[in-house]
A and B are shown apart, each in its own frame.
Chain A
Amino acid sequence: MGLKQNLHNLKEKYKGKKMAPAFNALHTFLYLPNETTHNGTHIKAADDLKRTMNTVIMALVPCLIFGMFNAGYQHYLALGEIQQADGFLGASFWTLDNFIIGAWTVLPLVVVSYGVGLAVEFLFAVIKGHEVEEGYLVTGMLVPLIVPVDIPLWMLAVAVIFGVVIGKEVFGGTGMNILNPALTIRAFLFFAYPTWMSGDKVWVHGAVERAGTPDAISGETILGAYAQNTSLAGIDYWDMFWGIIPGSVGETSKFLIIIGALFLIFTKVGSWRIIFSTLIGALVMGLIFNGVVEAGWIGDTSKFYGLMSVPFWQHLIIGSILFGAVYMATDPVTASQTNKGKWIYGFLIGFISIMIRVFNPAYPEGVFLAILLMNVFAPTIDHYVIQGNVKRRMKRVKVKAA
């Protein structure tokens, strides 16, 4: 008797009991349920919720693995123990040493994120007596990718509980949430423990412990440096594109994010409308700011000069706007549902992201705030798009009748 049969027997045994959803979740996660529907339509489609979620996770795995290498690489580079890697395939980047120390710091984040998040999901499923929902699979993967490597694990655990309960469960669980749970978690961390979520220490493993000692190392991000009107030496645009720069765990490599984006668009899981309109919005805002600098309205003494004078296309390769556009903004639950609405929604995300980035040096990473803001407005956008359609058709009917 295999595990499948065992699980099935357990399921029969606990049918109608309180713990039933927990067993069912394990069962359907591992195997196809061995029961058929009894009434209604019988549609068999391959792209159920679990498949969709798994597609997104597959698109995220390269970012995660790269993030592990990068965490180790930034650590050793800051210590001065290895040479700067030359490009994506640089010899000092893809080493076992880098991977070991990276995995050692990143894997606990993944374990805490999934462990705590799924525990909350199971708890709510048992209390409410519904099946465990798959929604956390993607959230649990996104969370470790959007936090700094050295975030204390208990903070992550508190934030995950907050994000899942307040961001999702109070609204009724997966599919009912207004806000993207992963971004709710990041926002909670950002406002609750700002010293661990921003500044020039947390982005490189080991920089916090060494602060103030003779061994101190810097862990500043490019965005942070620009916001202070300085720039980091020795980093060219290709480094930013390949992602061998300090930053949150999984958002640095624009190359892998673009590959993930193509994968999502090809499998029709992610909306290309949202991704492209977000990037267009960011470029437009970047162009406007470039225009402001060129017109001479802002001198280089202004505190906005550093980020405002960045050539507009570079906004896409510094910071996490690309990661946000591909993996966060496209969340089907919290994004706009209508096609026209998606264009508006995405454009405003990009537009506001760059605006926050430039105007508020305290939050140079405004992408998550912009996406959360537009999450709130997404239903409103949809409402007006639909009303617009209704009005147009009513006119057509009237013309015909007349």
Chain B
Amino acid sequence: MGLLSKKDSKLIMDPLADNNPITIQVLGICSALAITAQLKPSIVMAISVMFVMGVGNVVISLMRNIIPSKIRIIVQLVVVATLVIIVDQVLKAFAYSLSKELSVFIGLIITNCIIMGRFEAFALGNGVWRSFLDGIGNALGYGVILIIVGFFRELLGSGTLFGFKVLGDPVEKTGLYAIGYENNGFMVLPPMALIVVGIIIWVQRSRNKDLIED
């Protein structure tokens, strides 16, 4: 790794696997359940969170020595809120239908525990470059799970990926539907997202026994 030192690349790689914000720390579940019925909103959500976390961590890290610790939560909230409003407005301007689909959940990035958690736990005590990497890493870890869940839910629930009918047309009975296949309506409902996340957690922990808590 020429670009990143070993210590720095750990900041990116750890949240992707053994310290994943969703499957290990079980944070940010609310949005993971709500918007993963399809792949496209999942990806947009992942990118939005990545922007907010990357920039947010940098801003907090820059201000870390001048924020009075008594009001640091308020300062953090102001930073997140500003960034979220930027994301929201950009989406409204350039991808209106997506912004409608994601509705309140873009706004709710503010309450995403991962973001406040990283500000508190990392950006307040580390330099700018490392905070940036940490933000990107955690957002990637969050995004990966979102995309996996979104992939399975859209494929099995609607038979599509990014809106393309990959399994055939359910109305005209082509492809898999010709032999009697039907979409799984349960996949579109939020409870199934919880179960899919649970299965990912199960697979991950049975592959890496160190992650199992007593």
Chain A contact residues, CB within 8 Å of chain B: 152, 154-155, 158, 166, 170, 188, 191-196
Contact = CB atoms under 8 A, between A and B. Distances in A.
B185 A193 contact: yes
Q: Give chain A's interface secondary structure class.
A: helix
A170 B201 CA distance: 11
Given A152-B182, A191-B186, 18 more contacts: A152-B180, A154-B180, A154-B181, A155-B182, A158-B184, A166-B198, A166-B199, A170-B202, A188-B186, A191-B185, A192-B184, A192-B185, A192-B186, A192-B187, A193-B182, A193-B185, A195-B182, A196-B182
B26 interface: no
B: interface residue count bin = 10 to 19
Interface string B171-206: 000000000111011110100000100110010000
23 contacts: A152-B180, A152-B182, A154-B180, A154-B181, A155-B182, A158-B184, A166-B195, A166-B199, A170-B198, A170-B202, A188-B186, A191-B185, A191-B186, A191-B189, A192-B184, A192-B185, A192-B187, A193-B182, A193-B184, A193-B185, A194-B185, A195-B182, A196-B182
Most chain A beta-carbon contacts within 10 A, residue among B182, B187, B189, B199: B182
Contacts of A194: 185
Contacts of A192: 184-187
Interface in B137-190: 180-182, 184-187, 189
Contacts of A188: 186
Nearest to B181: A154
Nearest to A169: B202
Contacts of A193: 182, 184-185
Nearest to A127: B206
Contacts of B180: 152, 154
Contacts of A195: 182
A154 B186 CA distance: 16
Contacts of B198: 166, 170
Interface string B21-53: 000000000000000000000000000000000
Contacts of A158: 184
A271 B55 CA distance: 61
Contacts of B199: 166
Nearest to A189: B186
Nearest to B195: A166
A166 B191 CA distance: 13
Most chain B beta-carbon contacts within 10 A, residue among A152, A188, A192, A196: A192
B102 to A, nearest CB: 24
A152 B184 CA distance: 13
A129 B186 CA distance: 32
Contacts of B186: 188, 191-192
A155 B180 CA distance: 10
A193 B185 CA distance: 6
A220 to B, nearest CB: 21
A166 B186 CA distance: 14
A124 to B, nearest CB: 12
Contacts of A196: 182
Contacts of B189: 191
A350 B189 CA distance: 27
Nearest to B199: A166
B37 to A, nearest CB: 14
6 closest A-B pairs (Cβ-Cβ)?
A192-B186, A191-B186, A192-B184, A192-B185, A194-B185, A193-B182
Nearest to A152: B180
